[in-house]
Amino acid sequence: MDILIVEDKPEIAQLIQLSLEKEGFSCRTSSDGFNALRMFQEQSPDLVILDLMIPGLDGLEVCARIRQKPGAKDPYILMLTAKAEEIDRVIGLSTGADDYMVKPFSPRELIARVRALLRRSLRHGGQNQVYRTKHFVVHLEQRTISRQMNNSEEPEILDLTTLEFNLLSTFISNPGRVWNRTQLIDKLWGDNFFGDERVVDTHIARLRKKIEIDPTNPTFVKTVVGVGYKFEDTSVIL
């Protein structure tokens, strides 16, 4: 697994790199935002460890640009910051970060979070399975989801991140089921999730922007007040 470490303090970058390489990960480092994006384009990593306060482009901007134009891989992003305020966590997650750590942190916790991110996957039994609803088709093996809003148009392959694909696949394969945040975290992130539960709301909002005609009045991913979320669309029996 290839990990890109973006950290401007050499001692912290070295600590992270040595800790991860000891666990068998391959690491590259960058000390500023512009160079980090260049390295990302040259070779897409599996995971980016991204400091919030770095020279050039700050971590929020780097995160946003990675999510806007992902490379060959759609990497997980673990954001680091010395700031502990809640608003900084919310802003970081809203730009597309998958998890968040506040400095100082222990190398042991960092490694645990990295492993938890890289283990994320759908827990479906058969990877050749296909799910169909009236408007969507999910191919798990090809990892594609297409949408067709009416019979007169060609199906559109949705441009989704890894997390968005997993989230929508989970909804489509369980139409009508109501999921609370804890259940979605367990399904998508696994038992070692360390972040803020509201990261679920952030990814729901991003998914709605890609699949709904009007994200403010969603047709498919509905909010169940006081409980969580559910997916509504007519199922097609295969």
- What's the CATH class of domain 2-118? alpha beta
Query: pLDDT at position 72, please?
Result: 57
- Count CB-CB contacts under 10 A for residue 229: 22
25-12-109-45 Cα dihedral, nearest 10 degrees = -30
- Tell which residue, 168, 97, 161, 117, has the closest CA to residue 139: 168
Q: Which residues pair with 3 in a beta bridge?
A: 27, 47
Q: pLDDT digits over 77-100, tens only?
A: 998 987 666 556 656 666 778 888
Please tell me what DSSP assigns to residue 51: E
Each residue of 154-173: b (16+ CB within 10 Å) or e?
A: eeeebebbbbbbbbbbbbbb
Q: Cα separation of 90 and 87, whole Å?
A: 5
Domain residues of the chain, as ranges?
2-118, 130-231
Task: Please state the rounded mean pLDDT for residues 23-30.
Answer: 93
Q: Decide: 147 and 135 in contact? Cβ < 8 Å.
A: yes
- Backbone dihedral angles phi then psi of residue 87, each to the nearest 5 degrees: -60, -35
Residue with tokens 């559109």: 156
- pLDDT beyond 50 at 101: yes
Query: pLDDT at position 125, please?
Result: 42
More confident residue, 215 or 130: 215
Burial of 194 (0-12, 13-18, 19+ CB in 10 A): middle
Query: pLDDT at position 89, please?
Result: 60
Query: pLDDT at position 237, please?
Result: 41
Task: Please state the rounded mean pLDDT for residues 216-234.
Answer: 92
- pLDDT beyond 50 at 127: no
Q: Cα separation of 149 and 146, whole Å?
A: 10
Lowest mean pLDDT among 60-74, 77-91, 159-173: 77-91
CATH architecture of 130-231: Orthogonal Bundle (1.10)
Angle, vertex CA 199, rays to CA 125 and CA 110, nearest 5: 80
- Tell which residue, 181, 232, 178, has the closest CA to residue 202: 181
Task: Give me the percent of the chain exceeding a pLDDT of 70.
Answer: 84
Lowest mean pLDDT among 12-21, 101-110, 113-122: 113-122
Please tell me what DSSP assigns to residue 218: -
Lowest mean pLDDT among 110-124, 141-155, 192-206: 110-124
Query: pLDDT at position 238, please?
Result: 41
Q: Decide: 180 and 227 in contact? Cβ < 8 Å.
A: yes
* pTM of the full structure: 0.57
Lowest mean pLDDT among 30-34, 63-67, 107-111, 138-142: 138-142
